[in-house]
């Protein structure tokens, strides 16, 4: 009987289910939109939890339909990091709004947390800089606006991955990499920060058991079994989507750095687990528990990278421009830098200068600039921000970053890749992995279920699978002349303008 593994990736824009062979070959993928709803009364976005489960369950059934005679060894679930909801422990019934990571409704609560703590002390414990995105801020918002969610009934906070894992198994859990995005977890001890949670008067037992990423939490519930799914199919929370993707691209050792281009963009590297320092804090990067044993990841993110492209699609067209029209605009753009600086802060800025009050803007527009220039300027602005993160990581590690592994939906835009290579001065290596987080989730669960002996064997299996599929790795090198011109714009404009822009928005 053929053995397959399954990956689930719960994303901001789309959620996907993928089926993979043991050697890492992608056998099929089914995608569903991640539906975001809006409550204008409360001024916040949310997901409907049962609707999310129904959508993903339907996608899982559709993805497995061609494999009725196979055996699913494991299901791994990766997701956007900070999104979550409160459920009742005994029944699993949702008790709060399901809050997405990007909603800024919890900014006042994040400010309260900051006043209640020393930022460096919290960083050493959590690896994080305070933010409205983090789970603790969202829980304090829930206490204020949906207080019944945390009173009685033994409430439990679950991540998006944890919610779907619970629906599949009946078991509530967190993996370490997602627990580390709550601001209520100590990465130095691999345990919930009980004293810190108690400081805010939150219920005891609010956070469930934590397990390593990819560790099985249980088998599939009997009522969901049938076809290739059985009670022996092991379900695992594969964790933070960007960390799971590290398995798929082989970025599990120090020195390997990869860039994940989605609605949000993230630069991720690996280091051996150690005590965090003042230099780590000053870098503006965040740190967490890697899926590879004994290691941390460092991470810099910009929440409105692909999101900036989506925003401009809506602004420039009614209805929104199609992706074919976006690519046509890119083809129409003049060669070389536009000379326009776009600051990609539609939802605040991330690393290395995290600031929820920062906002986006264009500097240097002229009457001669058209739609193609605006589109290219947005691509340039996200690449300038990536260069800021890269330089911070280089200062932190003491090593030059000359090569980036690049994955994600943004890799389908050739101009974006060219601009990114020129602005960062890096050789971009596209490993040919069509769905890195999805494959990473399947590999992580495969390790936990014994399909692979360890992370190294899983990475090697994925490499062989790509080769067997004929997936062509690509390399994009920077152009020296354009790189010099972009470097001048970055050093003369993008970097120096950060301080006055932050001062302006701080007083707005």
Q: List the pLDDT tens digit at each of the 508 positions of the chain.
A: 699 999 999 998 899 999 999 988 899 999 999 999 999 999 999 999 999 999 999 999 999 999 999 999 999 999 999 999 999 999 999 999 999 999 999 999 999 999 999 999 999 999 999 999 999 999 999 999 998 999 888 999 999 999 999 999 999 999 999 999 999 999 999 999 999 999 999 998 999 999 999 999 999 999 999 999 999 999 999 999 988 998 898 888 888 899 998 888 999 999 999 999 999 999 999 999 998 888 999 999 998 999 999 999 999 998 999 999 999 999 999 999 999 999 999 989 989 998 988 999 999 999 999 999 999 999 999 999 999 999 999 999 899 999 999 988 889 999 999 999 999 999 999 988 888 999 999 999 999 999 999 988 998 888 887 766 656 678 999 999 999 999 999 999 999 999 999 999 986 5
Q: What is the DSSP letter of 346?
A: B
* CA 465 – CA 19 distance, rounded (Å): 13
Q: Where are the alpha helices (DSSP H) in 65-175?
A: 107-115, 119-126, 135-145, 160-169
Nearest Cα neighbor of 19 from 228, 262, 239, 297 is 228
Reduced 3-state DSSP string for 412-437: HCHHHHHHHHHHHCCEEEECCCCCHH
The pLDDT, as a whole number, for residue 357 is: 87
The pLDDT, as a whole number, for residue 469 is: 66
Nearest Cα neighbor of 78 from 13, 169, 172, 175 is 175
DSSP per-residue codes, 360-392: -EEES--TT--HHHHHHHHHHHHHHHHHHHHHH
On the 0-12 / 13-18 / 19+ scale of CB atoms within 10 A, 115 is exposed
Helix (H, G, I), strand (E, B) or coil at 16: strand
Residue 437 · residue 247 · CB < 8 Å = no
Q: What is the DSSP letter of 99?
A: B
CA distances in angstroms from 458 to 376, 420, 487, listed in the order given: 38, 29, 39
Could you check whether the bond before residue 352 is cis, i.e. omega within 30 degrees of 0? yes
Helix (H, G, I), strand (E, B) or coil at 6: strand
The pLDDT, as a whole number, for residue 237 is: 97
| The token pair that represents 156 in the structure block | 């439990």
């Amino acid at each position: 009987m053929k053995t397959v593994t399954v990956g689930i990736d719960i994303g901001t824009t789309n959620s996907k289910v993928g089926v993979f062979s043991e050697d890492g070959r992608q056998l099929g993928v089914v995608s569903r939109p991640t539906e975001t709803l809006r409550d204008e009364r409360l001024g916040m976005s949310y997901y409907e939890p049962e609707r999310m489960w129904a959508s993903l369950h339907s996608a899982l059934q559709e993805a497995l339909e061609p494999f009725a005679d196979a055996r699913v060894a494991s299901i791994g679930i990766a997701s956007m990091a900070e999104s979550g909801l409160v459920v009742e422990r005994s029944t699993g019934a949702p008790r709060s709004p399901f809050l997405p990571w990007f909603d800024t409704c919890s900014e006042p609560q994040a400010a309260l947390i900051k006043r209640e703590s020393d930022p460096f002390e919290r960083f050493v414990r959590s690896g994080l800089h305070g933010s409205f995105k983090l789970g603790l801020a969202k829980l304090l918002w829930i206490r204020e606006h949906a207080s019944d969610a945390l009173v009685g009934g033994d409430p439990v906070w679950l991540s998006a991955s944890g919610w779907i894992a619970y629906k599949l198994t009946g078991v509530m859990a967190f993996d370490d990499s997602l627990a580390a995005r709550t601001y209520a977890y100590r990465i130095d001890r691999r345990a919930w920060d009980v004293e810190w949670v108690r400081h805010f008067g939150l219920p005891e037992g609010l956070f469930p058991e934590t397990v390593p990423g990819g560790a099985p939490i249980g088998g599939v519930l009997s009522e969901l079994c049938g076809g290739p799914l059985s009670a022996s199919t092991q379900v695992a929370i594969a964790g933070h989507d960007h960390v799971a993707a590290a398995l798929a691209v082989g970025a599990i050792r120090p020195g390997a750095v990869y860039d994940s281009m989605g609605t949000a963009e993230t630069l991720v590297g690996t280091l051996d687990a150690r005590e965090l320092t003042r230099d780590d804090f000053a870098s503006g990067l965040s740190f967490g528990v890697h899926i590879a044993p004994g290691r941390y990841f460092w991470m810099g993110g910009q929440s409105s990278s692909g999101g900036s492209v989506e925003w401009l699609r809506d602004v420039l067209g009614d209805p929104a421009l199609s992706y074919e029209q976006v690519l046509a605009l890119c083809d129409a753009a003049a060669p070389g830098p536009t000379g326009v600086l776009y600051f990609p802060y539609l939802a605040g800025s991330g690393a290395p200068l995290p600031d929820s009050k920062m906002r986006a803007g264009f500097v240097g527009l002229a009457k001669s600039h058209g739609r193609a220039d605006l589109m290219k300027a947005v691509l340039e602005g996200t690449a300038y921000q990536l260069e800021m993160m890269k330089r911070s990581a280089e200062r932190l590690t003491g090593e030059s970053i000359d090569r980036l592994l690049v994955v994600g939906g943004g890799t389908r835009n050739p101009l974006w890749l060219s601009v990114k290579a020129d602005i960062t001065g890096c050789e971009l290596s596209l490993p040919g992995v069509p769905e890195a987080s999805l494959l990473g989730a399947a590999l992580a669960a495969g390790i936990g279920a014994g399909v692979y002996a360890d992370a190294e064997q899983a990475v090697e299996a994925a490499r062989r699978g790509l080769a067997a599929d004929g997936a062509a790795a690509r390399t994009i090198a920077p152009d020296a002349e354009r790189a010099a011109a972009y470097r001048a714009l970055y050093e003369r404009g993008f970097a120096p303008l950060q301080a006055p822009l932050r001062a302006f928005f701080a007083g707005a």
